[in-house]
Amino acid sequence: MSADISQSVLLPYQQRWVADTSPVKVIEKSRRIGLSYGEAADDVLYAASEAGANVYYISYNKEMTQGFIQDCAGWATAYQAAASQIDESVIEVEGKQVLTYTINFDSGHKIQAFTSNPRNLRSKGRPGERLVIDEAAFVDDIQELLKAAMAMTIWGGQIRIISTHNGEDNPFNELINDIRAGRYDYSLHRVDLDEALADGFYRRICQVTGQTWTREGEADWRQQLINRYKPNHDEELFCIPAQGGGAYLSRALVEACMAPAPVLRFNGTREYNALPEPARAAEMEDWIRENLTPLLAKLNPRRRHALGQDFARSGDLSVIAPMEIGETLHRTVPFLMEMHNVPFKQQEQVLFAIGNGLPRLCGVAIDSRGNGAYIGETAEDEWGSVVDKVQATENWYRERMPRYKARFEDSTITLPLDDDLVSDHRAFQLVRGVARLPEGKTSGQRHGDGAMACVLADHAADLDATEIDFTPVPRAGATYDPDADDDEMIDDWGGGAW
């Protein structure tokens, strides 16, 4: 929050919205936090400038349309922008009468507000023109409206989509999830009630109404607001679409993206854990040589690879998922490594064997909550900046899971065919509108561990990191032959990752 909000006309979240000049930007927001008011301020400056263009505003009812155009008139007066009074008129659109409100500026541009009829947009879209769709989740036939609106971007137009949520299955929420999944390169903003309060929303209310702000007063006001909106407070105030519940990924969706591949399992028995650490390390080294090394040798040395680990020491499974990134960016988990009740040092041993055996390692994501912080730190010591020590917060799930789900919907991911892995993916539930693993066991001794490792690997594959590679030091007496093939070079120069 800024040091003194009284010195700024717009609050920080309004400023961030206005400052974003993306061709298409979308915001999911809490009810009545002044986003449309901030948009009106920017639209007046845009229309009043000779370098700007016309602005068209659509909402789902007459009262909202009137309120927006009145805000625009107020801003025009504040800016001392040369503009006409509000003109209320009825225009004919394909045989239907449509009520409009218009402010004309001396710049030659106008702000025109009308009803949410997609036909109204068919003649719009001159260079630079801007469309604002307010409370988009509530307009009639938003899909047709957006289809018509996108044509405005052809000649450099701009689209601003503002709304609270109106159900999980609403096209507005689908649009939000598609943006998070990376299907559209639109700019996405989110401001719930608590984020608005952190930016001074209640302080501004006190300033406008002549009240004295106190921390206790803000807490009481927040709770009273929640009580008034119950049972719809999550949707109305906290950007959580209603009717969220049930499995996030269906069995059919997951199984369609599976193919036969090894799932390795190592169980740390009581006898094994009782061994001295050097003995455990030696036994694990033998196991790695027999089981992991042959799989690593089969990986394509020309492909980039990432890995994710969902860590657990004794209760849940600790799972490592390597991931190959193909030429077409298709992502494949060539095998899965599951460990149960395995000591820290031996988990580190397995992790390093896999990570250092992956060709062109470009990203590592480690679940670093609780005891996982140890593995996260050791991985960072080993591989440096390619490691992300993940703290899986609600916001992390909110941003990550739509992208991961899109891999299945678009058939751009392949996982090992394994029933436990299917069950792990089915464990993701919508909790407060966000897909995440619920508390407690989800199946037997499992807690969605395999699926979480795959999600982390997918996240690691998206990291903007430089891949790890090196040229080995030659053996004594070896000579470098630039014409030698890779296998000969590895034999002469002592092996290594290429």
Average pLDDT in the 455-473 region?
A: 77
Residue 390 in tokens: 């993940």
Distances (CA, A) of 97 to 57, 90, 148: 17, 6, 19
Which of 62-76, 244-258, 313-327 has the least mean pLDDT?
244-258
SS3 134: strand
Question: What pLDDT is attached to residue 474?
Answer: 54
Residue 185 scores a pLDDT above 90:
yes
Question: What pLDDT is attached to residue 486?
Answer: 42
CA quadruple 30, 31, 36, 41: dihedral, nearest 10: -70
CA angle (22, 26, 28) in 5-degree steps: 150
CA distance 154 to 138: 26
Domain-wise residue ranges, the chain: 5-238, 251-461, 471-498
- Please, what is the angle between helix 372-383 and helix 344-357, to 10°? 40
Q: β-pairing, 130-134 with 158-163?
A: parallel
Average pLDDT in the 321-349 region?
A: 96
CA distance 332 to 325: 7
Question: What pLDDT is attached to residue 473?
Answer: 54
Residue range 240-272, pLDDT digits in tens? 998 655 678 888 899 999 999 999 999 999 999
> SS in 3 state form for 261-312?
CCEEEEECCHHHHHCCHHHHHHHHHHHHHHHHHHHHHCCCCCCEEEEEEECC
Question: What pLDDT is attached to residue 165?
Answer: 93
Residue range 4-34, pLDDT digits in tens? 554 579 999 999 999 999 999 999 999 999 9
| Residue type at 376 in one-letter notation | G
Do 5-238 and 251-461 fold alike per CATH? Answer: no
Sign of the CA dihedral running 404, 409, 411, 417: positive
**Quick one: which of 138, 191, 272 has its CA closest to 12?**
191
Which residues, 6 or more positions from 177, have their beta carbon under 8 angstroms from its beta carbon? 402, 405
CA distance 466 to 317: 30
**Quick one: which of 259, 274, 257, 192 has its CA closest to 405?**
257
| Residue type at 260 in one-letter notation | P
403 and 381 Cβ atoms separated by less than 8 Å: no
Residue 393 scores a pLDDT above 50:
yes
CA distance 462 to 280: 35
**What is the DSSP-derived secondary structure letter of residue 10?**
S
Which of 342-346, 349-353, 416-420, 483-487 has the least mean pLDDT?
483-487
Residue 487 scores a pLDDT above 70:
no
Question: What pLDDT is attached to residue 494?
Answer: 38
Question: What pLDDT is attached to residue 489?
Answer: 37
Residue 495 scores a pLDDT above 60:
no
CA distance 163 to 27: 6
Task: Mark 185-213 as b/e (b = at least 16 C-beta within 10 Å).
Answer: ebbbbbbbbebbbebbbbbbebeeeeeee
Neighbours of 221 (CB within 10 A): 18
Residue 409 in tokens: 């919907």
Residue 497 scores a pLDDT above 50:
no
Residue range 108-133, pLDDT digits in tens? 999 999 876 656 666 666 889 999 99
CA distance 107 to 344: 69
Higher pLDDT, 496 or 14: 14
Average pLDDT in the 458-469 region?
A: 81
Question: What pLDDT is attached to residue 121?
Answer: 65
Distance, CA of 366 to chain centre: 18
Residue range 83-105, pLDDT digits in tens? 888 998 887 666 677 788 999 99
Average pLDDT in the 381-408 region?
A: 95
**Quick one: which of 88, 83, 92 has its CA closest to 101?**
88
Which of 35-44, 63-72, 306-315, 425-434 has the least mean pLDDT?
425-434
User: End-to-end CA distance of the chain, in Å?
Assistant: 49
**What is the DSSP-derived secondary structure letter of residue 84?**
P
Instruction: Please give the CATH number for the structural domain made up of 5-238.
Output: 3.40.50.300
Residue 13 in tokens: 């979240």
Distances (CA, A) of 133 to 71, 99, 136, 252: 16, 16, 6, 36
Instruction: Please give the CATH number for the structural domain made up of 251-461.
Output: 3.30.420.240
Higher pLDDT, 120 or 378: 378
SS3 369: coil
The pLDDT-based confidence of 44 (bands split at 50, 70, 90) is: very high
Question: What pLDDT is attached to residue 120?
Answer: 60
CA quadruple 236, 240, 241, 246: dihedral, nearest 10: -140
Question: What pLDDT is attached to residue 441?
Answer: 56
303 and 324 Cβ atoms separated by less than 8 Å: yes
The pLDDT-based confidence of 144 (bands split at 50, 70, 90) is: confident
% of the chain at pLDDT higher than 90: 67
